[in-house]
Amino acid sequence: MNLGAFLLRRLWQMIPTLLGVVLLVFFLFNWVGGDPAYILAGKMANPEDIANIRHQLGIDRPMWEQLLIFVKQILTGDFGKSWSTQESVASIFRTRLGPSLILLVPMLVLETIVAVVVALIASALRGAVDRFLMAVSTIVMSISLLVYIIVGQYVFAFELGWFPVKGWSDDLWRDLTVYAVLPVLLGLMVSIAPSLRLYRTFILDEISQDYVRTARAKGLGEARVLLVHVLRNAAIPIVTNVLMGLPALLTGAFLLERFFAIPGIGREIILAVERSDFPIIKAATVYVAMATMVVNLVGDLLYRWLDPRVHLE
């Protein structure tokens, strides 16, 4: 199947998936989420106030009409206004996406590079070095991110004064080099360990294959065998793991954003959950679902690029 036909087929297949997500989100928020009018009106509201709020929100209309409004919101990208702040939901996502990406893109890139390099070293050396790295990874994974944040802020920000405890600015370079450094380092301390263990398994599986023994028998150096042959064949599961984490960029590392006062999407979603701000929560749910489908499509294309033996079907 050629690339154009494959893309058209996959895009067509996304439509029923997205419709399923839309229906699921709509009925969950309408049946399980409770009546938002009571949440917005407060405990002391009278029936007249609740009726007015229901009319303003449009939730007094028939169910099918509310569903059409929700579909229209998705198609236009206009999810209305936040119930708490009256700010446009589209504006919230547009302004909060930048800080989340500034924090999480460097974290994802550094995590992938460091984990792959260390996994190659551990797989090549084996023995005591490999066991030591795996033991350290297990210990690091056993500690909560919250502990790293509290200790990191106290030691590196409060005691040593190397980084600010919290804050953000409108300058990209200042955010990258000042405010995002400590959150990224603390996030890496947690995220590298599981990735390292996983990538080491992928690489060890490839090292035991016959083609590796053949390459070594031909006199190829160990570095060339690992970097050219082993890493290329282990790249597909590694890419899969990386792509699975991409939709999380939309919601962000909410703990890091919350404790370092970073105005990202993750922090905004946590605040929306605390306030029962349904427009923001519904928009985030739909956007994450759409991002997941797009990432899966990009992953299939990358598999073909990494391994020409993979067929697009």
d(CA 55, CA 173): 46
Query: So what's the pLDDT on residue 33?
Result: 58
Query: So what's the pLDDT on residue 255?
Result: 80
pTM of the model as a whole = 0.75
Could you list the residue range(s) of the whole structural domain that residue 138 is in? 89-306
Query: So what's the pLDDT on residue 309?
Result: 63
Indicate whether 7 belongs to any domain.
no
Indicate whether 72 belongs to any domain.
no
Query: So what's the pLDDT on residue 308?
Result: 61
Query: So what's the pLDDT on residue 250?
Result: 62
Indicate whether 39 belongs to any domain.
no
Indicate whether 261 belongs to any domain.
yes
3-state helix/strand/coil string of 141-209? HCCCHHHHHHHHHHHHHHHCCCCCCCCCCCCHHHHHHHHCHHHHHHHHHHHHHHHHHHHHHHHHHHHCC
Indicate whether 313 belongs to any domain.
no
Query: So what's the pLDDT on residue 34?
Result: 60
Query: So what's the pLDDT on residue 35?
Result: 63
d(CA 159, CA 133): 29
Q: How confident is the model at residue 122 (pLDDT cuts 50, 70, 90)?
A: confident
Query: So what's the pLDDT on residue 39?
Result: 64
With a cut of 70, say whether residue 37 has pLDDT above it: no
d(CA 90, CA 112): 31
What mean pLDDT, rounded, does the chain reach? 79
Indicate whether 311 belongs to any domain.
no
- pLDDT tens digits, one per residue of 195-232: 888 888 888 888 777 777 787 787 777 777 777 778 77
Domain count, the chain: 1
Helices H / strands E in the chain, number of each: 16, 0
Q: What phi, psi does 86 have (nearest 5°)?
A: 65, 15
What CATH number should be reported for the domain holding residue 157?
1.10.3720.10
d(CA 261, CA 15): 37
- pLDDT tens digits, one per residue of 52-97: 777 766 666 777 777 888 888 888 877 888 877 778 888 888 888 8
Closest CA to 278 of 25, 76, 3, 16: 25
Of 90 and 311, the structure prediction assigns the larger pLDDT to 90
- pLDDT tens digits, one per residue of 240-253: 888 877 766 666 57
d(CA 42, CA 68): 28
Indicate whether 17 belongs to any domain.
no
With a cut of 80, say whether residue 285 has pLDDT above it: yes
Indicate whether 49 belongs to any domain.
no
